[in-house]
Copies of this chain bind each other. A is one copy, B any other.
């Protein structure tokens, strides 16, 4: 038996993993960043092979990790989590420094960052795992708690993008029927659920310029569930 709900009990944080350089940099939201050895400190990140950033890491042989604050805005999560760097420049307009390896490091809504040189690459199937030796780690002057995947799911009602290792295909699962006359609407881009009962506002009454609080998609991108 495989019970997907058991997966949700595994604890993760949420990070921006970046690579590239000053000319072309990119990043994505990752929940799989973890320390694999203590001496020397080495960290691993997982990256879908289709992610634009995967190609940049392969080329640059380095990556940065931005540890996000708990109340990270939907602008940052939408920009880095639900859009592709093939389509637009995610780094432009962000507060960015460049590390010792030349990779961009995003400082928006950050509490700390790491920078690593890739020393091992592991093909795990749909994803690549990059193991990096730490070049630098910096704790920023931001006392907020780190954003966890649980907080993002429970409080921000977010879901994993299709390319995440933890993505669960909801179409394969039975959709729960809502009791009463309240309806729910799903963002077709990121899976965020707008629940009329919880929000105390009917979806049709939202202003036409209302956008998905997670990924910034337009109201017309929502489908009734």
Contacts and interface: CB of A to CB of B under 8 A. Distances in A.
A183 interface: no
B37 A165 contact: yes
Nearest to A112: B6
Interface in A139-183: 139, 146, 148-149, 164-169
A77 interface: no
B35 A35 contact: no
Given A2-B137, A129-B36, A11 B12 contact: yes
List the number of copies, as a whole number.
2
Given A34-B32, A125-B40, A11 B9 contact: no
A138 B37 CA distance: 29
Contact of A7 (B122, B137, B169): B137
B168 A38 contact: yes
A146 B12 CA distance: 11
Interface of A: 1-7, 9-13, 32-42, 44, 46, 67, 111-114, 120, 122, 124-127, 129, 131, 134, 136-139, 146, 148-149, 164-169
Interchain residue pairs A-B with the least CB separation, the first 10: A11-B13, A6-B112, A6-B137, A37-B125, A6-B139, A9-B112, A9-B67, A36-B124, A38-B167, A5-B139
Given A3-B138, A32-B34, A148-B148, 5 more contacts: A2-B41, A2-B137, A5-B139, A6-B138, A35-B165
5 contacts: A5-B139, A6-B137, A10-B34, A34-B46, A40-B125
